[in-house]
Structure 1
Amino acid sequence: MLSGLDGEERVLRGIASRETARLRDGTRPWTWWLERAVLHGRRFGYTNTLLIAAQWRAATDVRSYEEWRAAGRQVRRGEAGIRVFGPSGGVRAVFDVAQTTGLPLPAVPRGPSAAFDWAEHVRHLREVEADSVGYLVRAWLGWEPRPPVFPVNAFWAGPDAGDRILRLSRRLHARARGPASSAAGIMDAAHRFFQTRCEESWVPAYLAERGFPARVRRRRRIGHAPPGPHTLTDHLRGLGHDDEEIVGAGLARQGDDGVHDTFRDRLMFAIRTPDGAIAGFLGRRRDGADGPKYLNGPATALFHKSELLYGLHEARDRLAAGARPVLVEGPLDAVAVALAGHAAVAACGLSLTGAQLAALGGVADLAATGVLVALDGDPAGRSGAVRAWETLAGVPGPVDTVALPPGRDPADLLRGGGRAAVRRALRARAPLADAAVDAAIDRAGGALATVEERLAAVRAAASVIAARPPEAARQAVRTAERTGVPAWLVTEALIEAARRPRRAGPPRPAG
């Protein structure tokens, strides 16, 4: 039986699939989706734009309950929410402006502050995507462009192309508006502020004690958010940014008693898009302080945590030159691995997503290099490595993992043994598929004491093995040895698993 939430997710996925099919077969023109993306695309992705249009055809300005409250408006009692997918998964409710009352909304700034040519930024896209980006950027700038002419059947329609169009359109729109009024401008101002406050804080001594040289702090532009509740907000106000812009950028939160800085007394890392734009921040608290160890800013027009990898921009030259990407958990781990001479990226606490893998594949040749997973050496880290397999199974190159000492991560190894300790740990690698298959056997087979347990373990292992056919022969032998089931029976389970329809997975990365 599906839970209520699973059932709701399935219904919404069905709606999105139906609307995508209508775009592909020409029942709805591609311009229909573009016109709705003008209204909702800067806040929501491809799929949610379809869901909003399907549930509230007249929707013009859709936000969460909290966002409306921050804007000085209240959702009327009894209003039914529009159901969309949240940035971290699951279903959430949002509301159209027609469902709210309160303060009038400020006028939206229109037009670029200077001439801006986005043709250079879209020439790597196919024509229909480039035309779509150009239309969205012009529309968001208030230019009222005429929609381009597209083929009747939008065969490209789907989350992959739709979200790619929206991500690039958001970035180009921010640049076109100019640094004084765009989200990119306010993020750069906040980053400079954090850096200027770093030298006199506890951060330099903390990094030195952890084994990070001073040059790392300067090269990575690590900063410090002061402990005061309004320090950054007051600074940004002084630069001409209003409270709505500061809250919208995720740098402050609206409380009952006013606006408060999101980050307070934290070591600050800037999280960048692959092309170097600051999308958001990640703050680490001081050891022993209250609150979560790491704190992300909220989702914004630029910051979508599930699409970004810390260190991808910083490692881009190494990756483009053929370095093998090393996937770690946190930003300090990424810096420690980079000091040891590797190209490291951090998922920042998330299980690796398809969007993150696609971003990595846009920089690295994964068919040649594959991926090395180096998550923390504790049960959570090992579980995270196994979960990463669900996304990494489609990588054409080798996918390996390293067995870090129990309870240690790469930053701990740097602290205790320097770069040599990190290098030694990264040399002790094994196929990630081994860990994924073994985990499936352990989970389904229990003690492997009965025929039923051994067969259940074989079937579970076969489902994992089927995701990566080139390794099937070796994994079949391993499974037979571990479970004591004859090899021919394991082979039959593999054939059965290969015939079963597989759930839609993440997009296969380029390369």
Structure 2
Amino acid sequence: MTSEGSAMPEDTSVLRDLAGHQAARLHDGTLPWAWWLEHAARHGRYGFTNTLLIAAQWRAATDVRSYAEWQAAGRQVRRGEAGIRVLARGGGTRPVFDVAQTAGLPLPRPEPGEARIWERLAAEAARCGLPVRADDGPDALAHRLALDLAPRGLPRADLVARSVAFVVLARLGLEPPPPAFPSPADWADDRLGDTVLRLARILHARLTDPSGDLMSAAHRFFRARVRDGWVPGYLAERGFARGVQRRWQIGYAPAGRRDLLDHLLGLGHTEQAVVAAGLARPGGRDTFRDRAMFAIRAEGGAVAGFIGRRRDGGTGPKYLNGPNTSLFRKGELLYGLHEASGRLAEGARPVLVEGPLDAIAVDLAAARGHAAVATCGVAVTPAQVAALARACDLERAGLLVALDGDAAGRSAAVRAWPALAAVPGPVDTAVLPGGRDPAQLLHEGGRAAVRAALRSPGRLLDLVVDDAASRAGGPLQTNEARLSALRAAVAVIAAARPAEAARQVVRLAARLDVPPALVTAELLTAAAP
């Protein structure tokens, strides 16, 4: 472990080793689970592993932010201060700094008062249909809410709920007694830790909205305005009837500069809260204007954010996501996952598509056999795969990828492979004719055309292996080119599930016109430690 306040090397392997050491101490009981929860209440937004890293590098850290975040809060990192190194989402490391390393404006304190926090907890419990007794303390209410929020069938649900309740109450400014947990904590790992942090983030966001539910208020506004715009007629012409639009609760953001903002201000929300929720820009301008609006829901069903589609021929990007907020994290959510959760639990095969209209098109065409979820323009992430795994049995059902059938869609499917390689079941890809996406296919060929594309899938790994070979070997005009293609392709095969190896060896040998024994030898070399 490093000394208090010392800088860590930027080498990710050093940080991962340190995090692994701390995780092992949690697992064997050297560090109690309640110790991690105390740090998670302060630093949990950085994830399970980074919480361990922050605690290891700076034990007394209380409020850790990036350099830019401190600037936005009116404080400056003092000259010469060494950053606390954490792992970045895209790879590598980045520095963050504790408040003790900064100077500047005083920070607002958490709202005091157990009575006020109890009122918020009781109101949220009543909204969820949970019993509220006069003798319930904040810890009992928070525990009940966390249990209700936990996905059905979640392992160790009570342990997770007690952990979530502690983290949320601590973030609200209370000092809850640390709950007792079994030791050694042989169940303590990054999956359980990140589950605690995700549910705590959702519950905390619900409780801290100043007048109830800001995102739901925005969703009601968009739904109420849908008749005023071009959306219903356009979608109906594309094959999405009015009943489908109502079922998916599609809305419309008016073209006015601040229609939504003024509406939310009239309900008692502050402009600061609306901006923080990603619904308006600093300076008083709505984020979404003249767009069809699709609500993206968190696992518990609450509206977490929106994606807006412009009209054909309009200005700006075709699809516009809201910014990341405490509740809406684009790399963790999938459009349609909440709506499809029932069919996925019953055995429907998940279909990964790009846009919300694609997800609705698959839903219309495939009945109960398939259930679509959309990435909404975000590159597929391990967090999204993990969310899907919580909703269905990926080992049995596998996953079908139905991204756009053009070159860009094929490239997106190849780029998704590193995240999808961890899926324990078969990962297939649907070949959509003519470069179309599912929504276009529904419009031009009807539901039967979409069903036909979904029923004739090929292995996604075939596409990834062939792409690697083509990039490395080009037209394969020389033996050197064939060898380069072979080595690039077997590197992909070596990282895939072992069950895929035999089939890929036969395919690759035929494609490159080389003996299968040579492919096997190269594969064994690539797979060797």
TM-score of the two chains, using structure 2 as the length reference? 0.83
Instruction: Note the alpha carbon deviations across 1:376-435, whole angstroms, 9 max, x for none.
Output: 112221122123332333333332111113431111112222222222222232111211
- Tell me, in whole angstroms, the C-alpha distance in 2 between the residues paired with 1:193 and 1:492: 62
- Measured after TM superposition, the shift of residue 11 of structure 1 is 5.2
SS in 2 for 1:308: coil
Number of the residue aligned with 1:506: none
Matched, 1:472 2:478: no
- Measured after TM superposition, the shift of residue 37 of structure 1 is 1.2
* 1:190-209 paired onto structure 2 within 5 Å: 190-209=218-237
- Tell me, in whole angstroms, the C-alpha distance in 1 between the residues paired with 2:105 and 2:21: 36
Does structure 2 conserve the Cα–Cα contact (< 8 Å) formed by 1:88 and 1:306? no
- Tell me, in whole angstroms, the C-alpha distance in 2 between the residues paired with 1:398 and 1:153: 36
Between 350-359 and 53-62, the greater mean CA deviation after superposition:
53-62
Matched, 1:458 2:486: yes
SS in 2 for 1:270: strand
Q: Which amino acid aligns with 2:477?
A: A
- Measured after TM superposition, the shift of residue 343 of structure 1 is 1.2
- Tell me, in whole angstroms, the C-alpha distance in 2 between the residues paired with 1:8 and 1:230: 46
Does structure 2 conserve the Cα–Cα contact (< 8 Å) formed by 1:377 and 1:406? yes
Number of the residue aligned with 1:235: 263
Picking from 404, 413, 420, the partner of 2:441 is 413
- Tell me, in whole angstroms, the C-alpha distance in 2 between the residues paired with 1:282 and 1:292: 11
Number of the residue aligned with 2:23: 20
- Tell me, in whole angstroms, the C-alpha distance in 2 between the residues paired with 1:88 and 1:271: 23
Does structure 2 conserve the Cα–Cα contact (< 8 Å) formed by 1:332 and 1:411? yes
- Measured after TM superposition, the shift of residue 27 of structure 1 is 4.9
- Tell me, in whole angstroms, the C-alpha distance in 2 between the residues paired with 1:331 and 1:100: 45
Q: Which amino acid aligns with 1:131?
A: R
Instruction: Note the alpha carbon deviations across 1:328-380, whole angstroms, 9 max, x for none.
Output: 11111111111112411111122322221121122222222221111011222
- Measured after TM superposition, the shift of residue 64 of structure 1 is 4.8
Q: Which amino acid aligns with 2:500?
A: E
- Tell me, in whole angstroms, the C-alpha distance in 2 between the residues paired with 1:82 and 1:265: 43
Picking from 309, 316, 319, the partner of 2:334 is 309
Between 59-68 and 342-351, the greater mean CA deviation after superposition:
59-68
- Tell me, in whole angstroms, the C-alpha distance in 2 between the residues paired with 1:83 and 1:7: 7
* 1:147-226 paired onto structure 2 within 5 Å: 147-151=178-182, 153-175=184-206, 177=207, 181=211, 185-226=213-254
Between 449-458 and 483-492, the greater mean CA deviation after superposition:
449-458
Q: Which amino acid aligns with 1:495?
A: L
Instruction: Note the alpha carbon deviations across 1:60-85, whole angstroms, 9 max, x for none.
Output: 334456655666x2535757665545
- Measured after TM superposition, the shift of residue 469 of structure 1 is 1.5
* 1:352-367 paired onto structure 2 within 5 Å: 352-367=380-395
SS in 1 for 2:391: coil
Q: Which amino acid aligns with 2:317?
A: P
Which runs of no fewer than 5 residues in structure 2 stay unpaired? 1-8, 123-131, 133-140
Instruction: Assess, with a 3 A threshold, how the Cα gap between structure 1 residues 82 and 251 changes in structure 2: closer, same or farther.
Output: farther
Does structure 1 conserve the Cα–Cα contact (< 8 Å) formed by 2:146 and 2:164? no
Does structure 1 conserve the Cα–Cα contact (< 8 Å) formed by 2:361 and 2:439? yes
* 1:244-323 paired onto structure 2 within 5 Å: 244-254=272-282, 258-323=283-348
Does structure 2 conserve the Cα–Cα contact (< 8 Å) formed by 1:315 and 1:343? yes
Instruction: Assess, with a 3 A threshold, how the Cα gap between structure 1 residues 477 and 76 changes in structure 2: closer, same or farther.
Output: closer
Instruction: Note the alpha carbon deviations across 1:160-182, whole angstroms, 9 max, x for none.
Output: 2211111112233445x387645
- Tell me, in whole angstroms, the C-alpha distance in 1 between the residues paired with 2:111 and 2:85: 26
Which runs of no fewer than 5 residues in structure 1 stay unpaired? 1-5, 501-511
Does structure 2 conserve the Cα–Cα contact (< 8 Å) formed by 1:87 and 1:299? no
Picking from 321, 328, 352, the partner of 1:327 is 352
- Tell me, in whole angstroms, the C-alpha distance in 1 between the residues paired with 2:274 and 2:53: 28
Picking from 126, 136, 145, the partner of 1:118 is 145
- Tell me, in whole angstroms, the C-alpha distance in 2 between the residues paired with 1:179 and 1:242: 10
Number of the residue aligned with 1:145: 176
Instruction: Assess, with a 3 A threshold, how the Cα gap between structure 1 residues 128 and 438 changes in structure 2: closer, same or farther.
Output: same
- Tell me, in whole angstroms, the C-alpha distance in 2 between the residues paired with 1:229 and 1:56: 46
SS in 2 for 1:340: helix
Matched, 1:400 2:428: yes
Matched, 1:101 2:101: no
SS in 2 for 1:306: coil
- Measured after TM superposition, the shift of residue 125 of structure 1 is 3.6
Instruction: Note the alpha carbon deviations across 1:299-345, whole angstroms, 9 max, x for none.
Output: 22211111111111111222122111111111111111111124111
Instruction: Assess, with a 3 A threshold, how the Cα gap between structure 1 residues 37 and 430 changes in structure 2: closer, same or farther.
Output: same
Number of the residue aligned with 2:453: 425
Q: Which amino acid aligns with 2:425?
A: G
- Tell me, in whole angstroms, the C-alpha distance in 1 between the residues paired with 2:503 and 2:167: 50
Between 308-317 and 227-236, the greater mean CA deviation after superposition:
227-236
Instruction: Assess, with a 3 A threshold, how the Cα gap between structure 1 residues 104 and 160 changes in structure 2: closer, same or farther.
Output: closer
- Number of aligned residue pairs: give it: 487
Between 471-480 and 279-288, the greater mean CA deviation after superposition:
279-288
Number of the residue aligned with 2:50: 48
Does structure 2 conserve the Cα–Cα contact (< 8 Å) formed by 1:414 and 1:421? yes
SS in 1 for 2:169: helix
SS in 1 for 2:62: coil
SS in 1 for 2:433: coil
Does structure 2 conserve the Cα–Cα contact (< 8 Å) formed by 1:283 and 1:294? yes
Q: Which amino acid aligns with 1:193?
A: F
Instruction: Assess, with a 3 A threshold, how the Cα gap between structure 1 residues 69 and 108 changes in structure 2: closer, same or farther.
Output: farther
Does structure 2 conserve the Cα–Cα contact (< 8 Å) formed by 1:229 and 1:261? yes
- Measured after TM superposition, the shift of residue 19 of structure 1 is 3.5
Does structure 2 conserve the Cα–Cα contact (< 8 Å) formed by 1:327 and 1:374? yes
- Tell me, in whole angstroms, the C-alpha distance in 2 between the residues paired with 1:29 and 1:275: 29
Matched, 1:133 2:133: no
- Tell me, in whole angstroms, the C-alpha distance in 1 between the residues paired with 2:512 and 2:154: 50
Number of the residue aligned with 2:524: 495
